[in-house]
Copies of this chain bind each other. A is one copy, B any other.
Amino acid sequence: KPLGSDWDRWFMMGLIGVFVGIFGFLMHQIIDFLFEMKWELVENYIQNNDFLTTWMVIAGIGFAMMLVSSGLVVFFCPSGSPSGLPEVIGYLNGASIRHIFNIRTFFGSFFSCALAVSAGLFCGPEAPMIHVGAAIGCGLSQFKSDTLRINLPFFTRFRNSADKRQFITAGAAAGIASVFRAPVGGLLFVLEEVASFWDVKLAWQTFFCCLVATFTTEVLSSSFVGFEYEGYFGFFKAEQRIIFWVKDLLNISVLAVIPTIILGIIGGLLGALFVFINVRINKLRMKIFTSVPHKFLRQLTKLLDTLLILVVTITVTVYIPYFFSCSPNPTASQVQNASEHKPHGEHAAWDVSEYNCPPGSSWVAPNGSIMANHSINQAAVLLVKNGKQGTMLLYQRGSHEKFGLPALLMALIFYFTISCWTAGTAAGTGLVVPMVYTGALFGRLVGLIMVAMFGVQTDEYGAWIDPGLFAVIGSAAYFGGVTRLTISLTVIMVEITNDVQSILLIMIAVLVGKTVGDYFNNSLFSSLLHLKCIPYLKAVPNVVHGKKKVNLELFTARDVMQSCTTIHLQENVFLLAELLSTTSHNGFPVVFSPAPGQEEVFLGTITRLELYMLLSNSRVFQTPENNQCSSVLKYQEVTVEKLPDEAQINRLLNKYSADPQYQQLFINLEPYINKSAVSVQAHFSLQRTYVVFRTLGLRHLTVVDLQNRAVGIITRKDLISLRLEKKLIQMDRGKLDSDEELLN
């Protein structure tokens, strides 16, 4: 009978869910509000074909927004660069990254993202929302903030890194769940890509957290549209809830697999190309920024990059529609029906998709439906509208020829290149919306080609040749090609479209996209982790030398270990202080002799922080005569996450290493060391060592010899693929080239 006494953990998960849900709601509403407001200002100019004024107004507003958005990241966030998904992934893998969950980073990310999307950059709010969710998970669960100097006496039992990591995982999942209204998709996204460690219990709690977050967002969004009160509080419409709702499920022929595979291949190729170009651009960016000497100038350069992107984006957005003529809107009556449900006051009549086209009129047909002769500017619809609304239009079924080849092709080219340039700039930008949208564009393009080949099919057996269906598949393929996700991507696609019927096609597209992409390079997140030098340990080591996988069974733990500085069980305060000042290790093996005269053997480990805490409590100091074994300090006093006062400790260390009196004082470390520290023998195969280290989630692994004497230590950095590769190359070329099949 399982006894669940974890009510506080569930409560905290719920609380995190509520807060993430609120911020998800705010993000949506701010973006909707600002975006709409911006375009309503220029309505008259566009309709009078006054492109210059339009450009000036849109660019001016965008400029102001981006100035704040980018300024927040550059000047306000402590790290000075947008923290996003790679940092969260790295943190959950065990890397220590500073400032990512700081309260300033949190607000910086949130508003920077909201403004960047509103300004009209080709980006979406997803990745920043994951980060915002993770930050809420981190901050809320700790019930304290160093920046705000708050330290509340609640839920103190969660103040340890293991629990913190769990809440961060849940918060990140809730972030994506809230923004997509896809609770299960968010959860799976985090399990597949973000979290390195998880168990079923955490999965359940995250499930709950995602549920609460989505629910909160739903309830709040149900009554507001772009901050206007609409009066349907607590009434979830399918139309609003399922963000890209596909209403007509199509009966699909098995022949649809052929274009699906083609789309998968295109998605994989484009995805790999995106990763390739984006990584190059970001490398170039880094190179330029680091070449600027002065800090303030560097910050200005970053700001300039963002503003330049904005100007280009706005220019494309405003002027390209100029070259396109108006075309009739075949789904006008549908659009009218939909807008009936969302009365926007007097402005409801104008839709930015009409752009500079003559305003049409609408009338009620004899059969009761609303007819209209509105015309649209295809390019305006595709470029000007927010990626989210654009995707909705592209996914629409039964609108075979709403968008023509030229408009789709043009939008694809601009969206692909500009979003590629945008990703990684100094503002909170997410990539999911551009990915979904770019995919939908080329998916619809392929669909259009099929329609051109086979005509608009009206009978039951040909109805599946619908560009709307292929837009969905294209999104999945491109998303898969860039991120190399599979399971979570499929679930997200189903949750946002409600199209279980095409799940098999989506799965095929995702798998083909991933396979093709993997042939060329690593996934975007993996590449960015590498680029940002975050020490990420994969579940299985993958060391490549000259296009061949190196067989780590041929190497031993001894080959990669560093020599270690051991500490004695009874250690001199003077020596300890000196050790801490002169080395930078974070963990130390503690050794002792089981019997007088015998050699010292490995007993356990102690961390630098624990030593600091011990040294700052002079109560634990003993003279050699007065040697007692009992614990003087409590576990909580020694095991902390962060030093309370770094400066003071440094002063103390200096005092100890200067004053000879401390050479006579000892600390008995026995009660404080971790005696259950796993060690490996020096002759262990490197493969096994890696697996032990990664699977158990260690930070330090002591290497011992056959008599259990500590001979070395292995840390996270020693096991990163690149470093392993270098180290092994230096050592032995012969073994590297040997065929890995030998042992299999």
**A residues neighboring B (CB under 8 Å):** 1-5, 157, 183-184, 187-188, 192, 199-201, 203-204, 207-208, 211, 214-215, 218-219, 222, 233-238, 241-242, 249-255, 461, 486-487, 490-491, 494-495, 498-501, 503-504, 507-508, 511, 514-515, 518-522, 539-540, 542, 544, 547-549, 594, 601, 603, 635, 675-676, 678, 680-681, 683-685, 687-689, 691-692, 695-696, 704, 706-708, 743-744
Contact = CB atoms under 8 A, between A and B. Distances in A.
Contacts of A251: 235-238
Contacts of A601: 706-708
A155 to B, nearest CB: 12
A249 B504 contact: no
A511 B199 contact: no
A682 to B, nearest CB: 11
A253 B236 contact: yes
Nearest to A708: B708
A368 to B, nearest CB: 15
A680 B676 CA distance: 8
A199 B541 CA distance: 13
Contact of A1 (B188, B495, B522): B522
Nearest to A491: B184
Interface centre among A486, A518, A696 (most CB of B within 10 A): A486
Nearest to A234: B254
A234 B255 contact: yes
Nearest to A518: B2
B491 A539 contact: no
A706 to B, nearest CB: 5
A738 B479 CA distance: 53
A214 B293 CA distance: 59
21 contacts: A5-B549, A183-B507, A188-B487, A201-B540, A203-B486, A207-B487, A218-B504, A219-B254, A235-B461, A236-B253, A236-B501, A236-B504, A249-B498, A498-B500, A498-B501, A594-B706, A676-B680, A676-B681, A676-B687, A676-B688, A678-B688
A696 to B, nearest CB: 6
Nearest to A219: B254
A234 B249 contact: no
A3 B547 contact: yes
A676 B234 CA distance: 59
Given A235-B254, A707-B707, A708-B704, A685 B681 contact: no
Contacts of A254: 219, 222, 233-236
A498 B502 CA distance: 11
Contacts of A675: 681, 683-685
Contacts of A187: 487
Nearest to A499: B498
A487 to B, nearest CB: 6
Nearest to A515: B4
Nearest to A237: B251
B696 A207 contact: no
Contact of A183 (B218, B461, B503, B678): B503
Contacts of A695: 695-696
